[in-house]
Chain A
Amino acid sequence: MIFSFETWQITVFSLSVGLASTLLILPFGVVLAWLFARKTWPLKSFVETVVLLPLVMPPVSTGLILLKIFGRRSPIGQWLYERGVEIVFNWKGVLIAMSVMSFPLLVRSVRTSFAEVNPRLEQIAATLGASPLKIFFVITIPLAYKGIVAGALLAFSRALGEFGATILLAGNIPGETQTLSLAVYNFVQIGKDSDAFVLLGITVALAFLFVWSSEWLLRSGNKA
């Protein structure tokens, strides 16, 4: 049987942590993207650059930074440890690594879709008595939702492909922190090529599905 229990376990683990990371970053990403697209504020371009950094930095470097931030010797890691939360070398590390690495993709995609919403519509809504919150949820979000969903799909695929930051922050522990990409690497290392190919097939299929649907959404246009 090609789909061993192990294969299933790895796939389900990757998909669930990936989904959790996307859902975790979605609200922050949407709000930040809106702030980037619609508001001017001090240090905006600096913050934009910092948010985009993980996109271009070597993932291993990002992983090292995360390890230093969440490791038990750092103030934050210490603080979390005292409250019974450990990030490093368990699934929470995977979650953090995936979230940080996919966040820039989400923000970029959502920012573009917000920028494409005609600001005139928001202005007119304001003259009709709508509060900023109502405008955001009733006008802006619905008009940008395709870009938001596409961005989330893209972020999700990026999360599934995460390797460098994950291996530093969460390690490569079979049954505990091993994701699809980590497992592919692991199987190749120990010579289990056939297992690696099965996982390879799964990753390619998933990546294709998500990128294709993301592109399809964007092509069908933001305007309802």
Chain B
Amino acid sequence: MLLRCRIPLEHFELDLNVSFDARVTAIFGPSGSGKTTLLDAIAGLRAIAAGEIEIDGQILFSTVKGIHLPPRQRGIGYVPQEAALFPHLSVKQNILFGAGREIQTGRSPGIQCAHVLEVLEIGGLLARPVTKLSGGEAQRVALARAILSRPRLLLLDEPLAALDIGLKERILPYLGRVRDEFAIPMIYVTHNLTEVLTLADWVLMIHQGRLITQGVPRETLRTTRAMLQSPDEQFENVFTVTFVDSDANAGRSKVRVQSGEELFIPYLPQPPTRPFQIRISADAIMVATQNPQGISAGNVVPGVVRAIDILEGQAMLTVLAGEEFYVRLTGAAVSRLGLLEGGRVFLIMKTRSFHLL
């Protein structure tokens, strides 16, 4: 899709000129960088001073050609941050609100209601009034509503931002399943790195309304100042794994990453049957130059340093140890260990530092 637009805002002007074609495109930037405005403009809810929006070869908006499709004719599903469910309608009525959409987008004609309910696990909520839903449930219902309008593009505006951490961890997998089950391209706005790494195939980094860089999430985020400049932000390693075995007495489960490496993670009482995702913070991984002995950590994995990016005293190491791991160290640690690109290291990861997504 092609996006070229200039949107005047209060303090700056949103000016973008990008074309991208990915399953999930993340738009990453700090609060106030114009992300929601951009989504509103794509959906047709906000005026654009000049520009062009084209999806699947169809022009939705063009100042030059004088095209300005109203929102209802764009075929774009929108899940806003606050879910915006219709409070006077039941969950079922909400979900089916756009299901009879007249315009045919040609996209995903095969999306079935039952399938959507199953993927998002909201079949049991249908009769409930939406005012009786939890935050996570409301988001899933809003997602189902947008998907069932069978859009050509799905816009997600920080769907996890309004939820607390615990809920986030439970709704993130649903977003992954939506991506995998329905062939709808998504634009996902967020200021959370974990979400970008988990969901996106492509990321646009915007700041003050301008595109700083774009690319594949891992490389792009690693080398972008935004990541290193926000030490509060968790930089997460996210891996897709399959379950191997569990030992309740040992308090741990064994999983296998795609490269075949096995890792110990906290005990899973109910082992998932399909592949699932785990994460570990880049700050939670220790690096040793020799194989450590007499150490409590459950995972010691040998690897090779691929890259060292240092910015303002913070170092981001890329270590190939089966999978690529990102490890954030201080500049002092890098010089004390004499770490160099190509050097052999051991990654030390506590079992309990791994979390499920």
Contact = CB atoms under 8 A, between A and B. Distances in A.
Interface of A: 118, 120-121, 123-131, 139, 142-143, 223-224
B72 A130 contact: yes
B102 A143 contact: no
A123 B70 CA distance: 11
10 contacts: A120-B82, A123-B78, A127-B45, A127-B71, A127-B76, A127-B77, A127-B146, A128-B98, A129-B101, A143-B86
A130 B97 contact: yes
Interface string B87-119: 110000000011011110000000000000000
A127 B86 contact: no
Give the top 9 A-B pairs by smallest Cβ distance, nearest first: A128-B98, A129-B101, A126-B71, A224-B88, A127-B78, A124-B84, A128-B149, A123-B45, A142-B88
A129 B84 contact: no
Contacts of B70: 126
A129 B97 CA distance: 9
B206 interface: no
B87 A223 contact: yes
Given A126-B45, A127-B45, 8 more contacts: A123-B45, A125-B97, A126-B44, A127-B74, A127-B146, A129-B149, A130-B98, A143-B88
B84 A128 contact: no
Contacts, number: 63
Contacts of B6: none
B254 to A, nearest CB: 45
B145 to A, nearest CB: 7
B72 A127 contact: yes
Contacts of A139: 86
Contacts of A127: 43-45, 71-72, 74, 76-78, 98, 146, 149
A120 B85 CA distance: 10
B86 A126 contact: no
B80 interface: yes
Measured as residues with beta carbon below 8 angstroms from the partner, the interface class of chain B is: 20 to 34
B72 A131 contact: yes
Contacts of A118: 84
Given A120-B82, A123-B71, A142-B88, A128 B45 contact: no
A129 B77 CA distance: 9
A123 to B, nearest CB: 5
Contacts of B149: 127-129
A118 B71 CA distance: 17
Nearest to A123: B45
Contact of B72 (A121, A129, A223): A129
Contact of A120 (B84, B97, B102): B84
Contact of B103 (A125, A129, A223): A129
A121 B45 CA distance: 12
B131 to A, nearest CB: 8
B152 to A, nearest CB: 12
Nearest to B130: A224
A140 to B, nearest CB: 11
A131 to B, nearest CB: 6
A116 to B, nearest CB: 12
A129 B102 contact: yes
A38 to B, nearest CB: 14
Which one of B86, B98, B131 has the greatest number of beta carbons of chain A within 10 Å?
Answer: B86
B87 A124 contact: no
A126 B70 CA distance: 8
Contacts of A224: 87-88, 131
Which one of B74, B97, B145 has the greatest number of beta carbons of chain A within 10 Å?
Answer: B97
Which one of A120, A129, A139, A143 has the greatest number of beta carbons of chain B within 10 Å?
Answer: A129
A126 B82 CA distance: 17
Given A123-B45, A123-B71, A129 B98 contact: yes
Contacts of A128: 72, 77, 97-98, 101, 145-146, 149
A224 B131 CA distance: 9
Contacts of A131: 72
A129 B86 CA distance: 15
